Amino acid sequence: MTARPIDKTIDIAAPPQRVWEVLFGDATYREWTSVFAEGSYADTDWREGSTVRFLGPEGGGMLGRIVVGRPHELLDVEYDGFVSQGRVDTDSDAAREYRGTHESYRLEAVDAGTHLAVSAPVGEEHYDAMVGAWDDALTRVKQLAEADPRG
């Protein structure tokens, strides 16, 4: 199994601050990541240097550390391994494969709003399915960010 990045971009008619809120606000994060797995969430404070656990409803998922956290500009996570049944796995072959890979979110202010670029590692066996899932997820981010935040 080999991890390789999926790289995606999307233009959103909303300022970077709003896009950031949608990407990393708890309720909206859960909404757009439900594309990958219903009940997905992140356990973190999104601050540089913090641990982040990207988890599914069963409590398993990816473990990383936020190496760059510049609000409204860049969030970069370096993966350390997995979480399974509440236990951290940084030593298995699968964990070692992901260790050192990065998931990043770059937000650039443009005249029409925000240009968002995402890069996320995925195992080769899931690559094709995840490419489409990322398209759907970013479409959902766009919809949420462009909607009136006051409801």
- pLDDT for residue 110 is more than 60: yes
pLDDT for position 98: 87
Pick the CATH number of 3-146 from 3.30.70.2190, 3.30.530.20, 3.30.930.10, 3.40.30.10: 3.30.530.20
pLDDT tens digits for range 10-51: 999 999 999 999 999 999 999 999 999 999 999 999 999 999
Report d(CA 69, CA 52) in Å as an integer: 12
pLDDT for position 3: 82
To the question of pTM greater than 0.75 for the whole model, the response is yes
pLDDT tens digits for range 4-15: 899 999 999 999
